[in-house]
Every structure is written in structure tokens, then in C-alpha cells.
Structure 1
Amino acid sequence: MISLALKYKPLKYLVGFNLATLFIFLTAPVFWKTENLFVFFLFFIFCQIALGLGFKIGADGVKNKINYIPEPNKRFINFVFVFYVCTFLIKYAYLLKFYPHQIGEMINFLLIGIASPQLGYQMSIDPSRGFTIPWSIYAVISVVNQLFFIIGFIYWKYSNLSKKIIFIIFLAIEFFFWFGRGTNFGVINLIVTFLLVMFVNNSIKKIKLTQKIKRTVVIVLLGIAGLGVFTYNLVERGGGGEVNSSELSLGRSEIDENNSFLNSLPKSLVPTYLFTVYYVSQGYYHTCLAFDLDFHFTYFLGNNPETINIGNIMGMEVDKETYVYRLNQKGIDPKINWHSIYTWLASDFSFFGVPFIFFIMGAMLGHSWVSSIKHQDFISKIIFVITGNILIFSFANNNYFGSIFYSGTIVIIYWYITRVKGIKV
């Protein structure tokens, strides 16, 4: 038996975090030009309730008579590492729109982005640069590659020295890649993934006070590092120098420069606070605006960037029917501004269907969490990290699911069949 406090531990933290982002949005020093704030508040709360109900049902539904895997198969891990080593250049070449042998060109491209995050970000979204590698090849290698860092973090305690060195090298390359693109997403995502793995690996263990202090220090340092990267990238993408609040206007809304809390902050903290508001509030505000638009069904292809890409390859052009795209009529650039997961999901399921999706994600989180801490199941830990990441970034976008779409879809189906339904494969 596990205690109720441990059973609902991730739900408490996750809902608390979501409520904190809602608080930042509602108390932001911004004149929000929308009449849907209260409607959004009710919608948000309903989604959190659905998440909680799903979590309880999922957590209570864990079966004991299932062949759980507390320690991953070494052959499988070796395969993942060897496969990634052999294909990582194809992955980066596809994402950067180069050929795999153009290593020097890719490095120079990323160095430019590190020197100037503003230019790096503009180059990374430049529509004039076409892909050099077929999408089909990228999709096939992504089935394995997209789980590499999750598996690497989970497997760390089982790894020998050579695997740890290999993993650290590729982790450094991944950081280099995201820094060079001038975006926060990948860097912060790696930090969050590490914290989720640490959370699920250590929650059931009784640890000494000194270990708690060490872990707290690690979390604080990672938080400071993430906040520093976040602020630096956004400041530099804005051209550097002193932050001009007029540049942070959100659509048709404007910063309240006479806000007492904003004016009471030390000048050195104003950029970080404004960019935090900018990052957290943007998605929620755009959801408020999306409530005014009609629902256009996107055939279950409009909920994240990767499925939209698949739709475009199929000639369906579902991107133009999504709420994200259609918000451009309200002055919201779909390529620059970001949107909450609520807006992304609504393109496929409508806003009435979004709470049901949160219920499903809650059930996945609850079931994978209890399976992880009760049985130390390796597959369930992967599902927990995937679902946790999706929900943590729900205020900003649904890009995370797009970034692990191919491998994530397969492992979720496998997990559902073998862990939830208990069918032997």
C-alpha cells in the first residue's frame, strides 16, 4: 500500500503549478482587451477538475498481476544508444535543413544563433529554407531518437561509465542545438525532464536530510539556470539592451506602466518579471480570444505542430483551420506568438471536448505514477515523464507532444495494451 499523500503527490504539485500560472495571468500588469476572462477562469478550473478525476481513476486502476519491468532490458538500451549514435546527424540535419555531411555548416549556423539569439531564432523559422531530408526518414528514426534523453535520464543509475559519458556528450550537443536556435523550449524541456525523472525515481525512497539538501540545491540551481537562459534569450531576441514594455504588448493588450507592483520591483528584476508574464500569459490570453471564433474541425491533425505537418504533407492544409492560425485576424502571429494547450486541443476536439482530453491525460498520469512508484515499472516511468511534460507546458503550447510524437504515440499504445489492459505482447 502507498499513502494517500504519496499517491496524489504529482497531482498536487501539477495543479498547484497550473493555478500559479493562472494567478500570474490574472494579476499581470496588463490591460487585457477581452471580455472572456471569467469564462476562461471557469473553463480552466473545469479542466483541472477533470484532470484530478482522471488522475484518481487512473491511479486506482493499477493492476498487480502484470509483468512489470523494474529494470530495462540491456539489449534494448544498447540498441537505443547505438541507433542514436548512428542517426543523430540525420536528426539535426533535418531540423536545421542541412545535409548530414554538412557538419561544419550546421555548427556555424548554431554559433551564429548563440552569438545573436535574435538572428538564430529568425533563421530557424525562415520559410525560404526548405528541408533537405525526406520527412519519412526523419519520422522513422524519430521512433527511437525522440525517447533517447528520457531513457538516458531514467537509465542513468544503471549505466556504466561509457554510457554515462556518451549520454553527457549528446546532452551537451542537444543544449548547443537549442541555444543556437535562440529558443528556450529545448533547454527548459531538458531541465523539466530531468526533474520529472528525479521526482519519479526518488519519491518512494526515504532519504537522509543531507540528501534532501543536495537535491534541493540541485533543483534551485537548475531553476536559476533555466530562468537565466529564459530571460537572456528573450532579451537578446528583442535586440538586447533595456527592456521596452511597449515591445511586450500582447496582441491588442498593453502593459500597465503605472502598475504599483511593477514599479515597486528593483529595476534589475523588471525584465525577468515582464518576460515571465509575457511567457505565461500569452497562451491564456490567446485562448480567451479564441473563444470568439467558430469551431473548424481539423480531423485530429490540428492539435500539435507535427500532426499539422503530416496533414500538410497529405495536402490537407489543416493548419489554416486551426484556432492558432485563425487568431491572426485578431493580430496574433501564428509563427511568432505561442498558444496554450487548450487552444491547440480545441482545434480538434472543440473547447467543450478539451476537459475530456484533460481527463484522459490525468488518467494516464495517475496510472503511470502509481505503476512507477509501486512496481518501479520502466515503461510507466516513460509515460509519466511524457504526460508530465505535456501538462507542465500546458500554459504555453503543445509543442512538447509534437517533439516526441512518433515515439510517444507508439510507446503510449504499447503501455496502454500491456499495462492498462494487461494484455501480454
Structure 2
Amino acid sequence: MTEHITPPTTKPRNPYFSSGPCAKRPGWSVSNLHQAFVGRSHRSDDGRAKLAEVIERSKKILGVPADYRLGIVPASDTGAVEMALWSLLGQRPVDILAWESFGQEWVKDVLDELKLPDVRLMKAPYGSLPDLDQVDFSHDVVFLWNGTTSGVRVPNGDWIKDDRQGLTICDATSAVFAMDVAWDKLDVVTYSWQKVLGGEAQHGVIVLSPRAVERLESYQPAWPLPKLFRLVQKGKLIEGIFKGDTINTPSMLCVEDALDGLIWAESIGGLPGLIGRSEANLSAIAKWVEQSNWAGFLAQQPETRSCTSICLQIVDSWFTSLTLEEQAKFAKKLAKILEKQQVAYDIASYRAAPPGLRIWGGATVDTADIEALLPWLDWAYSTIKAEVASVA
């Protein structure tokens, strides 16, 4: 039995480790948004200029190719993914990859709502990836770059063919701004501000390659598209969406917050600085896991471990001998005691994932806070285990 240990004396300065909405950048204050363009039309020249600034700064930081288009769309990353699926799929067979809960949601769209007839579902359990070598790139391919609820990411874009005939549609919401996304391998990329930038929710971003634009302008789906999904008018891309004209009314307060995050990102060295901060957080946890007698990564292969949504499972033989229901209750207690101590909020594993912990390690999280958290994880595990064992 693990010995009971005394609580650590140092707490994280910032206890926000939620996987969405995520921690604000270091030094953030609502006063930073005093220049928000509120009370005015987003369609005015000044309103459009704010939106266009978000677009241009985002493209520059992320290294989006010059001939790709980036636009702000409704309903967060979910809306951006839905827009892509409903607007682009149906011309070719589809390979859809799923290894966690959000990937499963896109499976439901493709199979149950769009009811596409020629679909290959390639699944893997939490902690693993499907066999990427089996993907057929004559098909359209739908996948996540990083599984937010499993902590499993694709290692790189090398598995994606350059001479693909189909489109690659990638939900990259917990990857962009923290991982080296291979833009030349991707035709559609979606994300939201609420992840690595720590921005406010409800606004999505969609990035289109020239091949995706060609599909949009040459193919009309068999089903009707609601206004919120329409990227084409009279057979031509609505270019205004990618210059600051949004489909519906955006929150200009959220836009200002996104700008604040982008300007901070530039100040720490742009994408290399953002990636470095996230990888340092993963490295700190990895060093702790190596010494732990009870915690392990949910991701089975080191090269697939996420540096943002870092998912841990409990590997102690005492814990694994419990029933699944008992494991789930234990993991919830573990997260709750950390919240009660005000050292970590919202780090319980996703409800559909194996019982454990999920710690956000995106670029807005300081490594010093991760390092301060880790001894508390040991204390919490020891404390809850002692309580459970004494009752048993």
C-alpha cells in the first residue's frame, strides 16, 4: 500500500489546467481588452479591419501557405468541422479515422446524418492510433491531428501522400499553435481560439487549400446547406469570409481576446516559442511519470503523446484490480480533492475515456505550474487510496 504523505507546500501559481476552455496567457487581464471594438458594426471598415488582423496574424504565426485561405466561422471548431464535412464530402469514398470521442462525433455525421454510402471507418481504442498505412488517399480522409480526449496525436504528416487524389480534412483544434502541423499535407484544417491561445469560445477557424477551394467550386452536395455552412455562392468561393466578412455576427470582445493571444504569441517567438512551451510541459510530466509507481501515459507510444491534452492513466495493480465503476469513482475523487485544494481545476479524464487524469499542457501553461502540480498528484493519489483501502 502507498504510504500516506503530507501535502506539498508549493501550489501552482495558476491552477487552470482545463482542456477547454483553456488557461489564459500568462499576465492576461480583462483590462487587456480595453480596445475591443464593441457597440459598433463588425461590417464597418474598422470592424472588418479587426477581423482581418486576426486572420493575417494567424496565418503568419502558423506558417499557413500563401495560397491557402483562412477564415473565421461560427460555432467553434465543431462548426468549422461540420462546415467542411457537409460542404465537401460526397464526391469520393471516405476514410474516417477515430481514436477518441470527438473523432466518433464526426463518424456520426458522416454515417448517420449525411448517410454516405462508401465509407471506411478506421478505429483504434483510447491510447492508440489506427493503422495509418492502411489509409487510401484516393478517398477523402477525415481525421484529428491530436485527440483531445485521448492524448494521442499523429507523429507527423509523413503518412499522408503528396499525390493524393482525395482531400485531407483535419480537425486540429488542440494541435495548432502547439505542434508542427504539416500544412502541405492538409487540404482543410479547423480549430478554435479556446485551445492553445486560451481564447474565448464559440468562434471557429477554417483553413482551405487550393484543392479544397477547387472542390467547393466544382462540386455541389446532394443535400441542402444551411446558411451557416455556405462557403460558396453561385459556384464561387465567398472570398469575403477570408478577408474579415463573417457569415454571422461575431463577438468583437472575443475577437479582441484572440488578438491579445496572437500578439502574446508573437512576443514569445511565434510558433517555435509556442511549441517549445508545450513540449516543455510534456517533458516535465514525462520525467515524473518515469519515477511514478502509479501513473502512466494513456498514449502507448512516446512519439504519439500529446503535448497539449496530456492524458494519464492509473497503472497501480491495486487500482487495476478494482471494478470499472470503482475505478471511475476513484478517479473522480482524485480530481475533486485537487480542486478542493485549489491546485488543479477540471483535470478529470473525459467521461468516455478510461478513468484517469487529463492535464492541459498548451502554450499558455507555465512549466513551473506543471512542476508544482506533480507532487500534489502523488499526495492526492496516496490520500484517496488510503481512504478507499481503509473502507474496504
Larger helix proportion of the pair: 1
Q: TM-score, normalised on structure 1?
A: 0.24
Larger strand proportion of the pair: 2
Q: TM-score, normalised on structure 2?
A: 0.26
